[in-house]
Structure 1
Amino acid sequence: MNRRTFLKRGLQLSALPGVGLGYRAPAFATERGNLKLSLNAFSFNAALRSGDVGIEALFDFCSQQGFAAVDLTAYYIQDYPQVPPDEVLFGIKKMAHHRGLHISGTGVRNNFTESDPLLRKAEIELVKQWVVAAAKLGAPVLRVFAGPRLQEGMVWEEKAVLVVEACKECAAFAANYGVIVAMQNHNEFIQTAAQVDQIMEGVDEEWFGLVLDIGSYSQHDPYEEIQKNIRHAVNWQLKENVNHYGTQKPVDLPRLMQLIRDSDYQGYLPIETLGPGDPFEKVARFLARVREAMG
């Protein structure tokens, strides 16, 4: 069906009784979900930080590889942690558009477990500033962290209260800009599916979700943990390895993709490669494996 026929068919359908805003696409259109691949820029962390690779070169590579989008971590944007001038953000947005790319998300490094109220307020303010920047970039998701691993003598539940309060405030603020604040389970303060659930249910905000990091469940079977948390996912980090009870093991991509297909998740699946080696080669190899698993 060409575009003109498709549009004509859509107009015909909308004119039928009972078909319009409430019309549901036929089952075949969404049987496998609307999943699109993105690249998390952290895959090029060392090269981006050293200046060996710039944002434009990264976008060129993503376009050549056929990615739908880039998850552009804010670390690699001029002036971070300060938000750069609008012309910088808009320039990045235009640069991506000219290469057929969306910006599927961005992210900051923050600590919501900070005990000092003034320091925690500064962390919340950092996130709010980048919520506004994310909206200007056209990024629907801003990734945040809960905080680092607990030090001896700290109580997880007490720190979790601080994390929930901070996330609620940031999500309520982000609703005004159409940006979803999404916490990543990063095997630091957050290590299990149960802890993810506790934070998510505590925040309970429409503009809050989870960046589901498949490589950061270290306490239990990672695939069972993923299945428990997939309902919260608004974005992902698909990695080459899972943390199987503390041991790095190659991800079972067919099993993972089946979990995703069995869920109601639709949207971007950012991939991220880590460790030594040429990031161009590592990303290309992992991308081929992910595409094969997606069928």
Structure 2
Amino acid sequence: MILINRRGFIRKGIQLAGIPFVYPFFRPEMTAIAAKNLKLSLNAYSFNAALRSGSLSLEQLFDYCAGEGFAAVDLTAYYIPDYPEVPADQVLFGIRKMAHHRGLHISGTGVRNDFTLTDRTLRMREIDLVKRWVVAAAKLGAPVLRVFAGPSLKDGERWEEKAELVIASCRECARYAAEHGVIVALQNHNEFVQTAEQVDYIMEGVGEEWFGLVLDIGSYSQHDPYSEISKNIQYAVNWQIKENVNHFGSQRAVDLERLMAIIRKSDYQGYLPIETLGPGDPFEKVSKFLGNVKSALRGAGLAG
């Protein structure tokens, strides 16, 4: 099955709406000079410890994001009451209203799942988890639900065999998500998926319009991370822009100028969620990194 990339997905969506495809914006030769519509979001995992302990509430997180000028929050489902169970609609709608009153969107949410399980009964439970949170994502107003492939291979396991389980699971979830207007997006998490080639294999294998990539810039550990990002950006429907990239197993500060040049040359539009990790005050770390990202966007001509 031929994978439909972001541009193809948008084109088909326009055609399905009964509008002729006449916009030159989507021509490949226009990509490098097309205006960008990019918005910064905060991945809530930046405040993981505080959110898990309850010392920081979602309301306080949203207040902080609004004060810092974020357009949105990427709210991982772990921080929503009752996870992994889906809470009552009133809870989901309350979170959505709380964000709206602060001028914020929910740019995405996500679950932790394992699609590499060989036991079909256990794997179907993981698929059911994703499907239930697809519905929750729609109620939150989140356009993207992030999923994982699974953990790193164990000795004696073959990647291709496990990948077929991941592909089949992602395909089923994406087809279900299409009925709810939510994109299921695989995060390359440096566990089962570690390289651009592996991302290609899964993306091409799934081949669904409502399936994409949460491009985690810090999780390409086998090759030059910027080359890997360039290869996979065509699938990106959301991001995790981190302070560091994994340069052949060692952590190096991200070259934001180089990253923004890659984004500028692509057809990517939408949210750019940032995430900070490691020790230190998360408020200070996020504020500093946000300033650096904004500066890099301006330097690349991607922000006013």
**TM-score, normalising length: structure 1:** 0.91
What's the C-alpha RMSD, in Å, of the aligned pairs? 1.7
Q: Which residue of 2 aligns with 1:71?
A: 74
* Aligned with 1:268 (options 262, 266, 271): 271
Residue deviations 1:237-274, cap 9 Å, x none?
00000000000000000000010010000000000000
User: 2:23 & 2:131 partners in 1: Cα distance?
Assistant: 37
Cα distance in structure 1, aligned partners of 2:23 and 2:241: 33
| Counterpart in the other structure of 1:156 | 159
1:179 maps to 2:182: yes
Q: Which residue identity does 2:187 align to in structure 1?
A: Q
SS in 1 for 2:170: helix
Please name the residue that 1:11 is paired with: none
**Matched residues, percent identical?**
73
Q: 1:184 to 1:23 in 2, by over 3 A?
A: closer
2:295 aligned partner:
292
> Does residue 209 of structure 1 match 2:212?
yes
2:93 to 82, 90, 105: 90
- Larger Rg, first or second structure (1 or 2): 1
Q: How does 1:79-228 map to 2 (within 5 A)?
A: 79-228=82-231
Higher RCO (C-alpha under 8 Å, 6+ residues apart): 2
Which one-letter code corresponds to 2:172 in the other structure? E
Three-state SS of the structure 2 residue aligned to 1:177 is: coil
- For structure 2, the residue ranges without an aligned partner over 5 or more in a row are 1-18, 299-304
Aligned-residue offset at 1:153? 0.8
What per-residue deviation string (whole Å, max 9, x for no partner) do you get for residues 102-139 of structure 1? 00000000000011000000000000000000000000
35, 42, 47: which is aligned to 1:44? 47
Partner of 2:179, secondary structure, is: helix
Matched residue of 2:279: which SS? coil
Question: Residue by residue, what CA displacement relative to the aligned partner does 1:171-214 show, whole Å, maximum 9, x if unpaired?
Answer: 00000000000000000000000000000000000000000000
- Residue 246 of structure 2 corresponds to which residue in structure 1? 243
Q: 1:130-179: CA deviations, max 9, x gaps?
A: 00000000000000000000111111000000000000000000000000
**Contact 1:32-1:261 at 8 Å conserved across structures:** no
Q: Which amino acid in 1 is paired with 2:117?
A: E
Residue type of the alignment partner of 2:288: R
User: SS at 2:185's partner residue?
Assistant: strand
Q: 2:232 aligns with which of 205, 229, 234?
A: 229
Q: For 1:254, which of 253, 257, 281 is the aligned residue?
A: 257
Q: Which residue of 2 aligns with 1:34?
A: 37
**AA of the residue aligned to 1:33:** K
In the superposition, relative to structure 1, how do residues 263 and 21 fare at CA in structure 2: closer, same or farther (>3 Å)?
closer
Mapping 1:9-28, distance limit 5 Å? 22=22
2:11 aligned partner: none
Q: CA deviation at 1:31?
A: 3.2
Task: Say if 1:42 and 1:272, in contact at 8 Å, map to a contact too.
Answer: yes
Q: Structure 2: how far apart are the matches of 1:151 and 1:97? A: 44
